């Protein structure tokens, strides 16, 4: 599938991953020392929900548009953050969500390879001193830009999944970055459509002896191999009890979306001894 952000901004997968992202930022903000966030596939940063791309798919209307007034519990902080944008008919992508949470001494490095999208991304953050926009391959940046001087932070990997080898590439580049910066928090996103996606990502991590990681999948619908049933996150160096947070978040989102076969699965995956 091709998951270019403009077509899917605000859909059910975005609600899940961006709610989880807000929780990770809150964990980093709980300590006074500054941190860096590397957003490897940043997209535009901000999306017009009346654009031809958004209207063509209708995914935002069935996603954030359908549940915003019912979001609570573990999704409440995310709802508060997106509220002012939704009131203007826009949806904030991950760079905007991160930038809105940063303190003056924290940093965001947002990477985007698409030549047209990066122009818009730069325009959106032209006056934001805590954000640096790079026109570069996010997978390459994962090893080039870590470890950061702050020695604290998060690498958020949200690729478009437009090539068949995307799960393998995500897993291998994730493992390579971890070798360079073993203490960073890493989050890799993937769509839940092909049942082989998660095993392929984890296989790369196991091959490179990543000690352990957390994975979570939120299903909006039961997977049928045809539609985008949900999405998953692979989290390396997850904060304490983050698995419990993700389970609670998934439960809250299932309730908000209503009973259509939604589910949440959270599990620790460990490399063999």
> Rounded CA gap, 140 and 126, in Å?
24
> Rounded CA gap, 147 and 180, in Å?
7
Q: Please provide the size of the chain in residues.
A: 273
> Rounded CA gap, 93 and 88, in Å?
14
Average pLDDT, the chain: 92
Out of 39, 117, 158, 252, pick the active-site residue: 158
Lowest mean pLDDT among 75-79, 167-171, 256-260: 256-260
Which pLDDT value is given to residue 5?
Answer: 65
Q: Is 26 a catalytic residue?
A: no
The per-residue pLDDT for range 135-177, each reduced to its tens digit, is 999 999 999 999 999 999 999 999 989 889 999 999 999 999 9
The per-residue pLDDT for range 79-98, each reduced to its tens digit, is 999 999 999 999 999 999 99
Tokens of 112: 């985007």
| Domains and their CATH numbers in the chain | 5-270 (3.40.50.150)
Q: What is the pTM of this model?
A: 0.95
């Amino acid at each position: 599938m091709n998951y270019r952000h403009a077509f899917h901004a605000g859909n059910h997968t975005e609600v899940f991953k961006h709610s989880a992202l807000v929780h990770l930022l809150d964990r980093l903000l709980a300590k006074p020392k500054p941190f860096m966030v590397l957003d490897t596939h940043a997209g535009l940063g901000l999306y017009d929900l009346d654009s031809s791309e958004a209207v063509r798919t209708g995914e935002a209307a069935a996603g954030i548009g359908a549940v915003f007034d019912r979001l609570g519990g573990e999704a409440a902080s995310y709802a508060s953050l997106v509220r002012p944008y939704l009131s203007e008919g826009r949806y904030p992508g991950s760079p905007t969500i991160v930038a809105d949470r940063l303190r003056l001494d924290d940093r965001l490095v947002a990477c985007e390879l698409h030549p047209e999208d990066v122009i818009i991304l730069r325009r959106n953050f032209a006056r934001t001193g805590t954000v640096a926009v790079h026109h570069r391959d996010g997978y390459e940046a994962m090893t080039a830009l870590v470890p950061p001087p702050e020695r604290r932070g998060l690498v958020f990997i949200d690729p478009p999944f437009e090539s068949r080898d995307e799960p393998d590439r995500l897993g291998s580049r994730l493992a390579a970055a971890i070798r360079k910066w073993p203490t960073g928090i890493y989050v890799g996103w993937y769509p839940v459509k092909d049942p082989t996606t998660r095993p392929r990502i984890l296989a790369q991590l196991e091959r490179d002896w990543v000690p352990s990681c957390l994975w979570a999948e939120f299903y909006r619908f039961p997977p049928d191999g045809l539609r985008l049933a949900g999405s998953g996150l692979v989290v390396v160096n997850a904060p304490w009890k983050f698995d419990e947070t993700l389970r609670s978040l998934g439960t809250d989102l299932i309730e908000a979306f209503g009973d259509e076969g939604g589910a949440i699965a959270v599990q620790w995956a460990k490399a063999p001894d």
